[in-house]
Amino acid sequence: MAKKHGHYCKVCGEYKSNESFSGKGHSAHICKKCAVLSPAERSREMTLARLMNLPYRLSAEQKAWLKGLQKDKCPEIAEAAQMVYAEHFPYAERNERKQQLHISEMTFVVQDELWDEYGDSFDAQIMFILDRKTRLISCTQAGASNTIELTAKEMRKLLNRIVNAYEVFCWEEDFSQEMPDVLGEEEDLADIEVSEDEEQPSWSVSVSYSNGEKQQMKGFDIPIRVNELALDLLQYFENDEDADDDEPYI
């Protein structure tokens, strides 16, 4: 590896020419530009330089240091630390959100082709409504509605799966176009209206969480997670359909 020319400044974290250092600055590893900074400014610059030069793999000490800096009193340091932390741990914030969100009600509409487990496509015009309190799931398709009741444990596991596995709260960020997020007091979460001039969305979802947060999202294609959630919910109604189709053997 070729030797770097010049001298390293421990404050700004840059290699600079020997002329950029005074005699004392050379031995102290502080360039002339950084030497005129106040102690507080030097400390800030050293912290920022260290942040920008962190290795890809962090030790436990480095991770703890980085995590703590996200709440630093200096806005510049806190913002930089948050950016670096997000780069090193892109799913940390998402995983933290999962612990905070518990679905109370959800309306999920699909108006496009879905693909079954064999890769065959079929046209879907379906609306699902889930309610934690009543433990009911309703499915409306082709003008017919069906409702089933789950146990409290089954409903809890389903709603947790929608948050943790399907990550429905991230659909806006991942692959959707947001609908207006402010609902009138008399508006129902299930009422997702599309104007005549607007292209019909392939899917739309409206979620109400126990902490009072609400989301409304829609998209114009069918990503894998949307497709899989629709199939997952349809499975709850397959037994009823199979029972209707069963005929006694003669």
- Residue pLDDT, tens place only, 63-113: 999 999 999 999 999 999 999 998 888 888 889 899 999 999 999 999 999
pLDDT by residue (tens digit) across 227-244?
999 999 999 998 655 445
DSSP 50-86: HHHT--SSPPHHHHHHHHHHTT-SSHHHHHHHHHHHH
Do residues 220 and 120 touch, judged by C-beta distance below 8 A?
A: no
Instruction: List the single range of 24-28, 129-133, 181-185, 224-228 with lowest mean pLDDT.
Output: 181-185
**What is the pLDDT at residue 248?**
42
Say what the pTM is: 0.65
Residues 167-186: what's their mean pLDDT? 67
Q: What was the pLDDT predicted at 247?
A: 44
Percent pLDDT > 90 in the chain is 55
| pLDDT class of 205 with cuts at 50, 70, 90 | very high
| Spatial distance between the Cα atoms of 30 and 203, rounded to a whole number of angstroms | 58
Query: Can you read off the two tokens belonging to residue 39?
Result: 């102690």
Query: In b/e form, how buried is each residue of 40-63, taking b as 16+ CB within 10 angstroms?
Result: eebebbbbbbebeebeeebeeeee
- How far apart are the C-alpha atoms of 112 and 33, rounded to whole Å? 62
Look at 136-140, 170-174, 188-192 and tell me which has the smallest mean pLDDT.
188-192
The pLDDT, as a whole number, for residue 225 is 95
Return the pLDDT at 113: 96
In whole angstroms, give the CA distance from residue 35 to residue 163. 52
Task: Tell me what pLDDT residue 197 has.
Answer: 46
Q: In the structure encoding, which two tokens stand for residue 47, read together?
A: 């912290």
How far, in Å, CA of 54 to CA of 67, rounded? 13
pLDDT for 142 beyond 80 = yes
Average pLDDT over residues 165-184: 71
8 A C-beta contact, residue 7 and residue 29? yes
